[in-house]
Amino acid sequence: MLMPTWTPPPYADPTTFTERDLTLNATALPSAVTRPETPARPDAVTGTSTVPGTLTLPNRGQRTGVVLLPGAGPFDRDGSSGPNKPMKDLAWGLASQGIAVLRYDKPTANRPEAMLDPGYTMTADYVPHGKAAVRALAEYVDRIVLIGHSMGGKVAPKIATDEPLVAGVVIMAGDTQPMHHAAVRVMRYLAETSPEAVPPGTIELFQRQAAAVDSPDLSPETTDLPFGLPASFWLDLRTYDQVATAAKLDVPILILQGGRDYQVTVADDLPAWRTGVPNATVTVLDADNHLFFPGTGPSTPADYQTEGHLDPEAITTILNWLP
């Protein structure tokens, strides 16, 4: 069966902006756009220092731009998931309202096996190219905001801490519950709502692997960890507190949460943002799932394979908040 072709959401008007391809070089400064005189050096973890991206520029003069950071996994610049492209929805929705957008393929998008290599970390997968994207976009706009989804939202405060050009952060479904604990919770949820997706013994497997991540004996040599990710990934996460990092930022922060999200939830993740970053603006979109697609009833993995678009209310909320 052919996968449905992505079509623009109703709120996007392609006549109001243009798009151009570019290549981000995480080692090139002061400009982060690769030029012939700045040869790329492969990154030791992801295997590349350059990634392709798309710059979306409104036809009318823009002063504000955003860099999009997709969630965990080898996502491309559009956040492609089944027939859906939520990051492209977001980019086109914002650009239609005069906001410049830069989105790019994660370094693992074309080399997903790098996620299993010893030494792989969240930091390596996001921070170098996130900073490069900010530097590249700064050539076109006066003010830059990071918009991160899921793990992209979790890591956005780290990038903002390292990059002084960032003037604001939007965290969409950013998790605060430790990822290995959330994995156990999600497996239990799926066992109830989509039992065919959870083979016998899966919950017990994730419980055992989560205990290994929590263990003081976790070392670079430890194996049998959640999702097959190397110990380096979990050791990196253990040193990072996204809430404390966000609380120290001297920029506006918007936290968006879907009420139907079972991966990052109102009950398990949002309270830490509310109490730990009290100056942040927090908005819950009750009808939205993890992709910020609206719907009804309990959300399941099948939602991600059903054609849809990013909730226009999410885009309106971001536009109304942008500093």
**Helical (H) or strand (E) element with 20:** strand 17-25
Say how far apart CA 64 and CA 56 lie, in whole Å. 12
Q: What is the mean pLDDT of residues 25-31?
A: 60
Residue 76's closest CA among 42, 53, 102, 47? 53
How many C-beta atoms surround the C-beta of residue 127 within 10 A?
18
Provide the pLDDT confidence category of residue 45 given band limits of 50, 70 and 90: low
CA distance 204 to 206: 5
In angstroms, rounded to a whole number, what is the distance separating the alpha carbons of residues 243 and 44?
28
**pLDDT, tens digit (0-9, with 9 covering 90-100), for 102-138:** 999 999 998 899 999 999 999 999 999 999 999 999 9
The lowest-confidence range among 49-53, 132-136, 237-241 is: 49-53
3-state secondary structure of 294: strand
The pLDDT value recorded for residue 26 is 86
Q: 180 near 153, Cβ under 8 Å? A: no
* Sequence ranges of the domains in the chain: 14-175+250-321
Query: pLDDT tier at 61 (50, 70, 90 boundaries)?
Result: confident
pLDDT at 149 over 60: yes
Mean predicted confidence (pLDDT) in 245-266 = 98
Cα dist from 112 to 45, 107, 118, 168, 300, whole Å: 12, 8, 13, 30, 24
Mean pLDDT of 164-180: 98
Quick one: tokens of 219?
């070392």
Three-class DSSP category at 228: helix
> Looking at the domain that runs over 14-175+250-321, which CATH code has it been given?
3.40.50.1820
Yes or no: say if 75 and 109 are a contact pair by the CB < 8 Å rule: yes
> For the whole model, what pTM was predicted?
0.93
Give per-residue pLDDT as tens, 199-210.
999 999 999 999
Q: Residue 101 is encoded by which pair of tokens? A: 């957008």
* Confidence class for position 152, pLDDT limits 50, 70, 90: very high
Separation CA 231–CA 121 (nearest Å):
9
Average pLDDT value for the chain: 92
* pLDDT score of 46: 52
Estimate the crossing angle of helix 179-193 against helix 202-214, to 10 degrees: 170
Cα torsion at 47, 50, 54, 59 (round to 10°)?
Answer: 160
Phi/psi of residue 190, nearest 5 degrees: -65, -35
Position 44 scores a pLDDT of 47
- pLDDT value, residue 41: 41
> What is the DSSP code (8-state) at residue 288?
B
H-type alpha helices, 59-118: 86-95
